[in-house]
Amino acid sequence: MDFDAIADELYGMPPDAFTAARDRYAAAARQAGDRTLAGKLKELHRPTAAAWAGNLLVRHSRDQADALMQLGANLRQAHHELDGAQLRELTRQQHALVATLAQQAVRLAAEAGRRLGDTARREVEATLHAALADPEAARAWSAGRLDKPLTAPVGFPGVSGTATVHPLRPSAPASRGHRTGRAQRGKASVTELEAARARRQERERAERVERARHAADQAQAACRSLQQELDQRQEEADQAEQALQQAAQEVENLKVRLEEARAHHREVQDDARQARKRLRDAEQTARKAERRAETALSELEGHQL
């Protein structure tokens, strides 16, 4: 039994079928003596609807998935280089491709028998944005084994707004001719003020980004905690459902055994009735034979006299 092959199969299944199939594989691994594999399989979590749809998208639209990851690499490069024109063009492509892929995920999920709601669709879009923003997220998504949607970092173009480049205002070229020392000092003061203003704006922007990142980290931590609780509750619900199915099967088995016992009881009753009838018949025959014997004995005694 190969872990990767089993994991690929499990995460390609609808979420409703995941837990039972995982447990069957884990049980088979234990029976085969491979406790390591069984333990790894039990650690796999049931995917949410959005994560499952994202996995379907990777499996059925490999070319478009590769295009999205290449677009993400280009976006990150433009973001790093503060190339405003390139960012605007790539962000336009990003919106179009994410919308197309999200709609395709909805269609694939519907074809597989599950309708995605608005929340799940937004989570699919968030996963796509995360794959664009973060190479690690892109690799996780492209593996097709997500158990929950991904979240893009705050501040990435197309997630919290298109990045804006604020270049410093270039100073005017020095003109030839007569300049007074006062004018030169005035120009230098203006340049210093602009530089100081730009630095202050950059610090304020960095502080806003840091606050937003901190808030995003807290929100992600809360989401992870809630997701863990949801996974636990889902696991408990799956176990309860299995226990209910087992109990129902036991009830059916008991019903069958009860019906068999009743049928056997009826057969025994019939046999008992027939045995009692044979006993009565035998008793009557015995009495008749006894009377004949008595009659014969009386006749014999009469002849002897």
Residue 160 has what pLDDT? 37
Q: Which residues contact 215 (CB under 8 A, 6 or more apart)?
A: 154
Residue 54 has what pLDDT? 93
Residue 212 has what pLDDT? 65
Phi, psi of 79 (to 5 degrees): -65, -40
Residue 165 has what pLDDT? 27
Residue 166 has what pLDDT? 29
Residue 126 has what pLDDT? 92
Token digits of residue 21 = 């199939």
* 126 and 150 Cβ atoms separated by less than 8 Å: yes
Token digits of residue 141 = 């998504």
- The candidate with the shortest Cα–Cα distance to 46, out of 24, 2, 13, 1, is 13
Helix axes 3-11, 35-42, angle to 10 degrees: 20
Residue 6 has what pLDDT? 94
Burial 219-248 (b: 16+ CB within 10 A, else e): eeeeeeeeeeeeeeebeeebeeeeeeeeee
Tell me how far apart the alpha carbons of residues 195 and 187 are, in angstroms, rounded to a whole number: 12
Token digits of residue 44 = 């796999």
Q: Which residues contact 109 (CB under 8 A, 6 or more apart)?
A: 49, 52, 53, 56, 115, 116
* 151 and 223 Cβ atoms separated by less than 8 Å: yes
Residue 270: other Cβ atoms inside 10 A? 10
Token digits of residue 14 = 């609808």
Alpha carbon distances (Å) from 236 to 45, 79, 211, 241? 13, 44, 37, 8
* 46 and 84 Cβ atoms separated by less than 8 Å: no
- Tens digits of residue pLDDT in 134-153: 888 889 999 999 999 998 66
Return the residue matching tokens 């968030």: 126
DSSP state of 14: -
Tell me how far apart the alpha carbons of residues 59 and 66 are, in angstroms, rounded to a whole number: 11
Residues of the chain with pLDDT under 50: 155, 157-190
- Tens digits of residue pLDDT in 36-80: 999 999 999 999 999 999 999 999 988 888 888 888 888 777 777
Alpha carbon distances (Å) from 253 to 96, 126, 240, 247? 57, 49, 20, 10
Residue 305 has what pLDDT? 65
Task: Give the amino acid at 66.
Answer: D
Tell me how far apart the alpha carbons of residues 16 and 25 are, in angstroms, rounded to a whole number: 16
DSSP state of 171: P
Residue 19 has what pLDDT? 94
CA 101 from centre of chain: 19
Alpha carbon distances (Å) from 44 to 15, 22, 239, 269, 270? 12, 8, 15, 57, 59
* 111 and 59 Cβ atoms separated by less than 8 Å: no
